[in-house]
Every structure is written in C-alpha cells, then in structure tokens.
Amino acid sequence: MHIDNGFTIYDTINELLNTDLDWVYEDDEYYYMQPTTDFVYSGTAYRVDKKTKSVERMHFVKMIKSIKKAKQIDPKTIERAS
C-alpha cells in the first residue's frame, strides 16, 4: 500500500481485504473490489486475478462495464494470498 497524490493505493489482495470494502464481485477469473473512501470522487476500484492474486487498479466506469456478468459476494469468502 502506498500514497499517490493523497490517494491510498492498494498493491496486494491482502491489503484490500484488510480495509473496509463497499462491495466485492467475482466472475470466473477475477474479483472486483471497491474500497470505502471518504473522497467521493476517487473513481478507483480494483480487479484481482484469482489465480495469480495480482492487483490492477481500474477506473470505476471501466469496472462497472467489466462486472456485468459478475455476482456480488462477501469478501470473507476470498482466499488471501500466501
């Protein structure tokens, strides 16, 4: 996790799972996560590859288009990276 221009940026799945999340979705390949933020215009969400656990920061609008076939899940069901 690091700060970039005043925004908290999450680098790992464990960092994401250790913060408050507004929502989590999944499809066959990815988890999609929206961390809770005080900054209403952050526009950032994350996509996590289920196999590699690699984290990709995405703009919220792109994320919404990506999760059309995904289903909402409880973040407690996600396996943390080793």
pLDDT digits (tens, 9 = 90+) for 13-72: 999 999 999 889 999 999 999 998 766 666 788 999 999 999 999 887 787 778 888 999
pLDDT at 27: 93
pLDDT at 38: 67
Residues across the chain: 82
Cα–Cα distance for residue pair 36/19, rounded to 1 Å = 8
More confident residue, 38 or 78: 78
Whole-prediction pTM value?
Answer: 0.83
25, 67 contact by CB (below 8 A):
yes
78, 16 contact by CB (below 8 A):
no
pLDDT at 60: 74
